[in-house]
């Protein structure tokens, strides 16, 4: 993969280290996978899986939390346009309450991977999560900052989930969802104590009234 590295900026080449390593091991369709919303009190957890075209990786991919909203939106569009394929999946609040957040996140991970139009032959997954599918995988702590593929997935997932929660804000007024995106800010917790929970709140989470 040295010829690919020579065509890219040092930043891009550095963030494709794990992708190049997988290519050297004989894999060609490498999917980055990341989740967003695992710690939120409201709404679903969202997972994106992205297979990048390594010859046209959008500049600026990194941990979605390090980007401003407008930067994320522009990058997400660029990623969706240039990627080999991508997929977005959710686990809703009621599913999270039924099987717990870890198991629901794993289900969403599996849905995102299985939703890719082209089946990946290797997975790079953020954190310590395991997909548990019959596809070779590697979990990478802080992978959204170390792997362009995982970073791309984090951006796509973040933009998708933020958009969904913002769309729900009009249906569930009073919780400041446009601002907190469902996370347990002081204002959100105060609104929960005053208004009670909605059907989109995770009743199994601390801070959400039963």
CATH value at residue 106? 3.30.420.10
Confidence of residue 64 (pLDDT cuts 50, 70, 90): confident
Q: What is the C-alpha to C-alpha distance for residues 85 and 103, in angstroms, rounded to an integer?
A: 25
pLDDT tens string 16-59: 999 999 999 999 999 999 999 999 999 999 999 999 999 899 98
Name the residue range of residue 128's domain: 2-162
The answer to the question of residue 43 being in a domain is yes
Confidence at residue 63, expressed as pLDDT on a 0 to 100 scale: 75
The answer to the question of residue 204 being in a domain is no
Q: Can you read off the two tokens belonging to residue 24?
A: 């050297």
Helices 148-169 & 17-24 angle (0-180, nearest 10):
120
The answer to the question of residue 154 being in a domain is yes
The answer to the question of residue 88 being in a domain is yes
Q: What is the C-alpha to C-alpha distance for residues 7 and 83, in angstroms, rounded to an integer?
A: 17
The answer to the question of residue 118 being in a domain is yes
Average pLDDT, the chain: 93
How many domains is the chain built from? 1
The pTM is what? 0.92
The answer to the question of residue 195 being in a domain is no
Paired residues of 87 in beta bridges: 49
The answer to the question of residue 209 being in a domain is no
Q: Can you read off the two tokens belonging to residue 82?
A: 């240039």
Confidence at residue 14, expressed as pLDDT on a 0 to 100 scale: 60
DSSP β-ladder status, 122-126 and 137-140: parallel
The answer to the question of residue 199 being in a domain is no
What is the phi/psi pair of residue 112, to 5°?
A: -65, -45
Residue 7 has pLDDT above 70, yes or no: no
């Amino acid at each position: 993969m040295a010829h690919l590295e020579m065509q890219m900026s040092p930043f891009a080449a550095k963030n494709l280290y794990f992708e190049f390593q997988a290519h050297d091991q004989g894999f060609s369709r490498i999917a980055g996978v990341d989740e967003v919303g695992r710690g939120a009190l409201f709404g679903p957890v969202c997972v994106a899986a992205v297979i990048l075209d390594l010859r046209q990786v959008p500049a600026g991919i990194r941990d979605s939390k390090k980007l401003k909203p407008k930067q994320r939106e522009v990058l997400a569009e660029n990623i969706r346009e240039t990627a080999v394929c991508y997929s977005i999946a959710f686990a809703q609040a009621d599913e999270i309450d039924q099987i717990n957040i870890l198991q629901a996140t794993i289900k969403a991970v599996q849905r995102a991977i299985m939703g890719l139009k082209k089946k990946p032959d290797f997975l790079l997954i953020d954190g310590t999560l395991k997909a548990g599918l019959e596809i070779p995988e590697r979990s990478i702590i802080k992978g959204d900052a170390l792997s362009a593929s995982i970073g791309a997935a984090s951006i796509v997932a973040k933009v998708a989930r933020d958009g969904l929660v913002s769309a729900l804000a009009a249906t569930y007024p009073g919780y400041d969802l446009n601002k907190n995106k469902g996370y347990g800010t002081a204002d959100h917790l105060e609104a929960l104590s005053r208004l009670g929970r909605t059907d989109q709140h995770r009743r199994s989470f601390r801070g959400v009234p039963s």
